[in-house]
Chain A
Amino acid sequence: MSCARNTRIFDLGASTLRELNSTLQQEGAEGAWEIHNPAGRHSLAVGLTQPVSVTIDGHAGYYAAGMNQRANVVVNGNAGQGVAENMMSGSVHVKGNAGSSAGATAHGGLLVIDGDAGARCGISMKGVDIVVRGSVGHMSAFMAQSGNLVVCGDAGEALGDSLYETNIFVRGAVKSLGADCEEKEMTPEDIQNLTKLLSKGGVIDIKADEFRRYGSARKLYHFRVDNASAY
């Protein structure tokens, strides 16, 4: 692959994961990096705090770009479980498919998945924006607290189970809604927000008014015995 000038190359065929991460985590790492021969290695480009641009040229294993702060990470392939887990800021872009728990507990930043995401996409998310071009698996946005999950394809079973204040937008079919998740009205403000999210996710061929919005019915916010069957 061709590299822009000033792009530094890190070859995991020749160096260790520890060397890779400590290099990228160091102050002074700012700039563009390409990781060659990732070979599905776990914990690639984790704990970054500098505004670096990292392209993982191939498939990544578990927790790629985990706990990201400020960095922009691209996976030129598929990513395993927990990609961008607990991201605070910055962005992570998976060009292929993502495994389960993509964007789990992430507090901020932007996660874009061009393909499909597995089960529990956006589980317990706390403020991140997630845009999935394909579909998401079951229990996505489980106990999701805040932020936005945008799904251009379909959603699996029990979407948004035990949801708090995350907004979920789905364009395709939802197999079933989880406990306390309900369809909400799409207001002009929602359309505006979703249009921005789609644009941030690089989705330019799909319009916001093709989506439905889901959110918390807020019936489980206080335990009431009359709602016990919903738990």
Chain B
Amino acid sequence: MTENHHDVTKTFPRYSATFDEFTISQIQRAAATGIYDIRGGGTKRKLPHFDDLLFLGASMSRYPLEGYRERCGTEVVLGTRFAKKPIHLKTPVTIAGMSFGALSAQAKEALGRGASAVGTSTTTGDGGMTPEERGHSSTLVYQYLPSRYGMNPDDLRKADAIEIVVGQGAKPGGGGMLLGQKISARVAKMRDLPEGIDQRSACRHPDWTGPDDLEIKIEEIREITNWEKPIYVKVGASRPYYDISLAVKSGADVVVLDGMQGGTAATQEVFIEHVGLPILAAIRPAVQALQDLGMHRKVQLIVSGGIRTGADVAKALALGADAVAIGTAALIALGDQSPDLAAEYAKLGAKPGTYDDWQDGRDPAGITTQDPELAKRLDPILGGRRIANYLSVMTMEAQTIARACGKSHLHNLEPEDLVALNMEAAAMTQLPLAGTNWYPGKAGF
């Protein structure tokens, strides 16, 4: 025994894995305010994702295409089932629904310009269609939402396709939320609401419940739009096999499946982080549902939620999707999270890469705001150029991978081109664990 017990070597100070720094700050915040945390964006937790898959590429048993010479098609046609005028896109990377209200008019215009430049579509959101958005989008998908804010049959007829929104990945089962700070005079007028109040959109459609009703609702919309426009049905990923089956049964031309990595303008943190499936886990059951109904490639599947690169695009398509949609990634391409804004983010208690207070309308990048001074910071022409650049890069990246796999079109990518890096991804996708021909649930190793 030593004489001086103060000399005994001590262990390092240790943080709890259960009560980590962020968890402690959550408890402290809840105790101080008495209200749950509301923020924008999607889930921030680590999830099984496309990074857990790899392409095999061609070698002895497969024949690659020449990287810069041989054609690799990227075009996609959406809405071939019932619509008289299907959507023709040059790239399968589309822009997801984001509202004017959640985003500034400049940001919506930039998305339209960028998408149009590369021949893809953009999508309205809760709150209706602005003339700027329609004017700058060569192909515009009009969202038909539970709130029906700004829902107008004239705009419905102006759209190139109609997306009936049942749910979104960030909050399956939840309605929209736009806090008073962002309800400007123009947003309020479009939504027929008093200016400056908190606006909570409905989570259920007001005039239909369930797939039997939805079938009639879709017929009504087709009757109003002369059976011309493709009807999409968008669901948040939760029970994809059944939800996709029922959407097909209801008469959808296109189904949109949004994983929990998908963003939102504003929702409770607890909802964003704890409800829904990661997109990786949702694609295979959705494709299975389409195949079981004999509708794969007849009813097209668009997937979204955490799509970032051409590799993600290629993997989603190889798993059976026809196209993808990007939201958060498009905002980053516009300038969200820019290191140039570090000083301004610091004033809001954030850093580039962590900013998620999209709900409070003080976005220094001028994207998730209705403040005219902040919104002016985003040049819609330059922003459109950045979106077009980013979409082109993703498309070329996906082509690079497809050619390496010997495919003359992105849609020729198939599950056989992929392996899973770990057991979780193998189980969710039923792709073989890398180096084996086995996945969990399959007999034999």
A interface residues with partner B (beta carbon < 8 Å): 17-18, 21-22, 25, 42-43, 46-47, 49, 61-63, 66-67, 69, 81-82, 85-86, 88, 101, 104-105, 107, 120, 123-124, 126-127, 142-143, 145-146, 162, 164-165, 220-223, 225, 228
Contacts and interface: CB of A to CB of B under 8 A. Distances in A.
Contact of B148 (A18, A126, A142): A126
B202 A43 contact: no
Contacts of B34: 225
B223 interface: yes
A46 B207 contact: no
Contacts of B213: 62, 81
A120 B206 CA distance: 8
Interface residues of B, number: 33
Nearest to B149: A126
B207 A104 contact: yes
Most B CB within 10 A of own CB, among A101, A124, A126, A127: A124
B82 to A, nearest CB: 12
A223 B151 CA distance: 26
A43 B216 CA distance: 8
Interface of B: 33-35, 147-148, 151-154, 156, 179-180, 191-194, 197-198, 200, 202, 206-208, 213, 216-217, 219-220, 223-227
Given A82-B207, A225-B35, A69 B219 contact: no
Contacts of A49: 153
A49 B152 CA distance: 12
7 contacts: A42-B220, A62-B220, A82-B208, A162-B200, A221-B198, A223-B35, A225-B35
A145 B216 contact: no
Contacts of A221: 180, 194, 197-198
B153 A223 contact: no
Nearest to A86: B151
A124 B148 contact: yes
Contacts of B152: 88, 107
A123 B192 contact: no
B207 A63 contact: yes
Contacts of B147: 124
A84 to B, nearest CB: 10
Contacts of A223: 35, 179, 198
Contacts of B216: 42-43, 61-63
Given A86-B148, A104-B207, A221-B197, A146 B192 contact: yes
Contact of A88 (B153, B180, B217): B153
A65 to B, nearest CB: 11
B154 to A, nearest CB: 8
A221 B196 CA distance: 9
B206 A105 contact: yes
Given A46-B224, A69-B153, A63 B217 contact: yes
B194 A165 contact: yes
A142 B206 CA distance: 9
B192 A127 contact: yes
Given A145-B193, A221-B197, A66 B180 contact: no
Nearest to A101: B207
Contacts of B153: 47, 49, 67, 69, 86, 88
Most A CB within 10 A of own CB, among B153, B179, B207, B225: B207
A42 B194 contact: no
Contacts of A46: 220, 223-224
A105 B128 CA distance: 13
A126 to B, nearest CB: 4
A88 B151 CA distance: 10
Given A22-B226, A43-B216, 15 more contacts: A42-B220, A46-B224, A47-B224, A62-B216, A62-B217, A63-B207, A63-B220, A69-B154, A82-B208, A86-B151, A120-B206, A123-B206, A124-B202, A145-B192, A146-B192
Contacts of B154: 69
CB-based closest 4 A-B pairs: A47-B224, A82-B207, A105-B148, A221-B197
Contacts of B226: 22, 25
Contacts of B148: 86, 104-105, 124, 126
A220 B194 CA distance: 13
B190 to A, nearest CB: 11
Contacts of A47: 153, 223-225
A11 B154 CA distance: 28
Nearest to A231: B200
A3 to B, nearest CB: 25
Contacts of B192: 107, 126-127, 145-146
A66 B225 CA distance: 12
A21 B197 contact: no
A127 B148 CA distance: 13
Contacts of A85: 206-207
B180 to A, nearest CB: 6
